[in-house]
């Protein structure tokens, strides 16, 4: 799997998800992205946390819109008007608009998620164009520091415990936090020194593992990019209609061409089957 | 041929009261040059001149002249010198840039724009030479300290430098790894690479013939053209002394243990008595640290039992900086003493370990060897019943190692049960009642040695 092809697919998915407020297309993007994640994620990577976070975000979007927007014909609850901001009619239209917004956010996030859950961090960094290679290497190094800090925290905690440290009050936690921060800073300086000594920043970088483009990669990237461009064109021309539930909720309009563009995002499931 | 020259070179770190390098005049020629000196003498600072980290990375004030591979060090940035000068640092834990072995070994080559096909070949050769070709796909986070050191060396060898500088490269290598590295260095020297190596473990450099630079108080002088450095380790010998017969201080029975519930050791049954010193030896990644951590109670056994006699267990981790974070060495030791009700004054211990003059220094400003001594004092202060020391002589010069031996033997006489994991066979021979070989998933009694 070429990281740049996956990058093109992710950008296409995010573009379609954000180009329309129509929940039907957004749901289709969401389903395609979710299936790609499930099928292609790195071994041992769990997406449960991400899914829970998106469900929470969607619930917040629904709650916020429902409580703050009081327009729409179908009221299902009346809060006392004396309550600031949320007081008044709570409508089905506002709740559905919040739901569509939440689905849009979830679809966009899930479309971008394979960049971190399918690819190794350094594979993405390597895929950056040469002009960004130094920045990419710095980002890759920073990503690598995170597990190092976690290990260091464990090491320091163990060492302190062996010396009798038993934190009982919050004010004793600096005994752990301060050395972890200091060690992280010192580790960063040492790493910077090692990078400098290994020629980092001396000129144009090359990549050890330059991912080749295979037919499947070209197919995924081409299908996704064409689908996104077509979707945007259809949206501008009005063939793909937006959806707005106010003042009276109605079923979202659906175009076959729009649905086809969204379903094209399932291409990785066919091309990159493992 | 002269590869590096320093003339009247003086360097002072920012805010330092005295010069780290003082009016140094020396030449480094092809072949191998060994840099010797006590901890804190200025060896590491001198080595950093060769690739320009001093003064470019560390700042400070500099005077005099330094030229390496035909380039003026004071006007040439380190990253430019890196194409010709390879540098292996003392701390292998902090050198890895990428998460996998193969990718990390290629980092330097990527930086100097090596074509991918050539890079692939050079990385393969370097991993082979460093003895870690079998670890090619491993995650760096899963490597032992010694394996990380080999990776750091491979990353530099891959760049095929004109001058190779190594700061205590043998400090965490097992015998096999150390011998392989020395052979590699000799080969490189024969192939035209100039090699500068700072090392305390001279016995490991027995076959090296070359010049020697002695560093003391920031002054460096060329010594004799050495015809090999003597003092190879004597073979272990069976003890003429009876084994201590005190009560059992710790015991493991049918132990299987390893990080993340993955067994590194299985079926281990061992015990140690009060007043006994047990040395764990064995290859890098063999499980010495895992066994120590299990004895310390920091790692839960997968199966089997671990028993410890009541009392405090002192534990020295491989990385001394996990311990040192107070404002001064004295404050660090006092922190331990406050938590040990039986502890008395640690002044004697500090004096024994040569820390009296460093008591008010910030541990982070000390050299590696000095930090190690400070960490040892911080864990051994008070009166532990069991002391577990992981690579205690790392970065130590001969004087500091002798001091450590005296401390260990004094504690042994006082009834402390001591377990140390080490590659330093001289240390094991000097203090251990028993030596246990740890590796290949098991631990077995190797040989008993006498303690004078």
CB environment B52-74: b (16+ within 10 A), e (fewer): bbbbbbbeeebebebbbbebebb
B3 three-state secondary structure:
strand
Residue B401: C-alpha distances to residues B34, B144, B367, B425, B431 (Å)? 20, 23, 15, 12, 11
Alpha carbons B395 and B200: distance in angstroms, whole number: 7
- For every residue of B316-335, DSSP letters joined together read E-SSGGGT--SSSHHHHHHH
Say if residues B254 and B267 touch (Cβ distance below 8 Å).
Answer: yes
Question: What length does chain B have?
Answer: 452
User: How high does pLDDT run on average in chain B?
Assistant: 84
Mutation choice for B interface testing from A116, A124, A178, A199 by most B CBs within 10 A: A199
Count Cβ–Cβ pairs < 8 Å, chain A vs chain B. 148
Structure confidence at residue A130 as a pLDDT band (50, 70, 90)? low
Residue B222: C-alpha distances to residues A111, A179, B26, B36, B45 (Å)? 64, 40, 7, 10, 16
Say if residues A103 and A136 touch (Cβ distance below 8 Å).
Answer: no
Most confident of A136-145, B207-216, B261-270: B261-270
pLDDT for residue A63 is more than 50? yes
What would the two tokens of residue A58 be? 């969607």
Structure confidence at residue A129 as a pLDDT band (50, 70, 90)? confident
Indicate the helix (H) or strand (E) that contains B428: helix B425-431
Region B301-329: mean pLDDT is: 88
Structure confidence at residue A13 as a pLDDT band (50, 70, 90)? very high
- Using only C-alpha atoms, chain B has a radius of gyration, in whole angstroms, of 22
pLDDT at position A60? 95
> Out of A70-84, A200-214, B250-264, which region has the weakest mean confidence (pLDDT)?
A200-214
The answer to whether the complex's ipTM is over 0.90 is no
Region A117-128: mean pLDDT is: 76
- Chain A residues with CB under 8 Å of B53 CB are 193, 196-197
Nearest neighbour of B79 by CB, restricted to A158, A201, A204: A201
pLDDT at position B236? 45
Structure confidence at residue B452 as a pLDDT band (50, 70, 90)? very low
pLDDT for residue B264 is more than 50? yes
Q: Going by DSSP bridges, is the β-strand pair B417-421/B277-281 parallel, antiparallel, or unpaired?
A: parallel
> Out of A126-140, A182-196, B89-103, B177-191, which region has the weakest mean confidence (pLDDT)?
A126-140
Nearest residue in B to A142, CA atom: B97
Nearest neighbour of B110 by CB, restricted to A148, A155, A206: A206
A95 vs B438, higher pLDDT: A95
Nearest alpha-carbon partner for B255 in B243, B245, B263: B263
| Chain B CB within 8 Å of residue A187 CB | yes
Say if residues A66 and A47 touch (Cβ distance below 8 Å).
Answer: no
Query: Percentage of residues in chain A with pLDDT exceeding 90?
Result: 49
Nearest residue in A to B294, CA atom: A158
Structure confidence at residue A237 as a pLDDT band (50, 70, 90)? very high
* Each residue's pLDDT tens digit, B128-168: 988 889 999 888 878 877 788 889 989 999 999 999 999 88
Chain A nearest C-alpha distance from B167 (Å) = 13
pLDDT at position B229? 44
Residue B390: C-alpha distances to residues B9, B11, B353, B395 (Å)? 38, 34, 17, 13
Alpha carbons B377 and A28: distance in angstroms, whole number: 64
Cis peptide before B55 (omega within 30 of 0): yes
* H-type alpha helices, A69-208: 92-112, 114-117, 121-126, 133-162, 174-197
Nearest residue in B to A141, CA atom: B97
pLDDT at position B109? 93
pLDDT at position A262? 96
B201 vs A13, higher pLDDT: A13
* Each residue's pLDDT tens digit, B36-80: 888 778 888 999 999 999 899 888 999 999 999 999 999 999 989
Instruction: Give the phi and the psi of residue B418 in degrees, each rounded to 5.
Output: -120, 135
* Each residue's pLDDT tens digit, B424-447: 888 888 888 888 888 766 666 654
Region B29-36: mean pLDDT is: 89
Structure confidence at residue B118 as a pLDDT band (50, 70, 90)? very high
A178 vs B377, higher pLDDT: B377
- Chain B residues with CB under 8 Å of A186 CB are 321, 364
| pTM exceeding 0.90 | no
* Each residue's pLDDT tens digit, B213-249: 888 888 887 766 554 444 444 444 444 456 677 889 9
Chain B nearest C-alpha distance from A94 (Å) = 47
Q: Are the beta carbons of A196 and B57 separated by less than 8 Å?
A: yes
pLDDT for residue A249 is more than 90? no
Alpha carbons A178 and A172: distance in angstroms, whole number: 11
pLDDT for residue A144 is more than 80? no
pLDDT at position B451? 36
Q: Which residues are within 8 A (CB) of A238 and not within 5 positions of it... i.e. 6 or more apart?
A: none
A152 three-state secondary structure:
helix
B17 vs A233, higher pLDDT: A233
DSSP state of B20: S
Question: What length does chain A have?
Answer: 274
* Each residue's pLDDT tens digit, A154-163: 888 888 888 8
Tell how far CA A80 is from the center of its chain: 38
């Amino acid at each position: 799997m070429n990281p740049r092809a996956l990058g093109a697919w992710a950008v296409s998915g995010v573009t379609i998800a954000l180009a329309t407020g129509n929940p039907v297309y957004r749901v289709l993007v969401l389903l395609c992205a979710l299936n790609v994640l499930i099928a292609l994620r790195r071994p041992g990577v769990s997406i449960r946390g991400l899914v829970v976070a998106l469900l929470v975000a969607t619930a917040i979007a629904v709650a916020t819109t429902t409580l703050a927007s009081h327009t729409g014909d179908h009221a299902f609850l009346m809060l006392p008007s004396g309550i600031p901001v949320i007081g008044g009619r709570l409508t089905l239209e506002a709740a559905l608009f919040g739901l569509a917004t939440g689905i849009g956010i979830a679809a966009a996030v899930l479309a971008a998620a394979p960049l971190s859950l399918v690819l190794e961090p350094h594979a993405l960094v390597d895929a950056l164009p040469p002009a960004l290679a130094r920045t990419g290497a710095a980002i890759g190094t920073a990503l690598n520091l995170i597990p190092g800090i976690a290990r260091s925290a464990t090491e320091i905690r163990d060492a302190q415990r062996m010396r009798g440290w038993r934190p009982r009050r919050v004010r004793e936690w600096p005994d752990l936090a301060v050395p972890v921060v200091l060690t992280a800073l010192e580790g960063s300086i040492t790493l910077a020194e090692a990078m400098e000594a290994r020629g980092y920043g001396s000129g144009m970088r090359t990549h050890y593992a330059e991912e080749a483009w295979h037919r499947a990669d070209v197919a995924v990237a081409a299908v996704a990019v064409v689908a996104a461009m077509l979707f945007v064109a259809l949206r501008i021309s009005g063939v793909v209609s937006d959806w707005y539930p106010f003042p009276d909720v109605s079923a979202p309009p659906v175009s076959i061409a729009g649905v086809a563009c969204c379903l094209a995002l399932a291409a990785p499931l066919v091309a990159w089957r493992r | 041929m002269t590869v590096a020259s320093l003339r009247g070179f003086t360097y002072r770190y920012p805010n330092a009261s005295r010069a780290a390098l003082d009016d140094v005049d020396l030449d480094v020629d092809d072949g191998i040059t060994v840099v010797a000196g006590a901890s804190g003498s200025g060896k590491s600072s001198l080595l950093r001149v060769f690739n320009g980290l001093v003064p470019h990375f560390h700042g400070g004030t500099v005077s005099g002249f330094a030229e390496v591979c035909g380039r003026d060090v004071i006007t040439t940035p380190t990253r430019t010198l890196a194409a010709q000068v390879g540098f292996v640092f003392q701390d292998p834990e902090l050198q890895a840039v990428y998460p996998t072995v193969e990718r990390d070994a290629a980092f330097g080559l990527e930086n100097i724009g090596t074509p991918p096909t050539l890079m692939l070949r050079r990385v393969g050769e370097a991993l082979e030479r460093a003895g870690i070709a079998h670890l090619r796909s491993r995650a760096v986070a899963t490597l032992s300290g010694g394996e990380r050191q080999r990776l750091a060396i491979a990353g530099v060898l891959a760049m095929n430098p004109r001058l190779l500088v190594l700061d205590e490269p043998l400090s965490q290598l097992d015998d096999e790894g150390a011998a392989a590295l020395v052979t590699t260095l000799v080969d490189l020297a024969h192939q035209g690479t100039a090699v500068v190596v700072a090392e305390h473990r001279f016995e490991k450099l027995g076959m090296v013939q070359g010049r020697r630079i002695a560093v003391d108080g920031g002054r460096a002088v060329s010594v004799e053209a050495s015809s090999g450095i003597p003092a190879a380790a004597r073979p272990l010998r069976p003890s003429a002394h009876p084994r201590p017969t005190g009560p059992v201080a710790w015991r493991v029975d049918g132990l299987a243990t390893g990080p993340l519930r993955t067994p590194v050791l299985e079926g281990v049954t061992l015990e140690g008595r009060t007043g006994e010193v047990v040395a764990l030896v064995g290859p890098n990644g063999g499980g010495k640290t895992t066994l120590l951590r299990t004895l310390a109670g920091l790692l839960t056994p997968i199966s089997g039992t671990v028993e410890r006699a009541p009392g405090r267990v002192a534990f020295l981790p491989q990385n001394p900086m996990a311990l040192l974070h107070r404002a001064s060495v004295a404050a660090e030791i006092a922190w331990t003493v406050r938590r040990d009700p039986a502890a008395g004054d640690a002044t004697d211990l500090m004096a024994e370990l040569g820390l009296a003059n460093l008591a008010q220094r910030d541990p982070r400003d000390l050299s590696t060897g000095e930090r190690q001594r400070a960490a040892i004092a911080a864990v051994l202060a008070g009166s532990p019943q069991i002391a577990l020391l992981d690579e205690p002589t790392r970065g130590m010069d001969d004087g500091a190692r002798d001091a450590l031996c005296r401390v260990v033997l004094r504690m042994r006489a006082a009834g402390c049960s001591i377990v140390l994991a080490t590659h330093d066979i001289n240390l094991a021979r000097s203090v251990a009642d028993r030596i246990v070989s740890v590796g290949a998933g098991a631990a077995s009694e190797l040989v008993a040695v006498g303690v004078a």
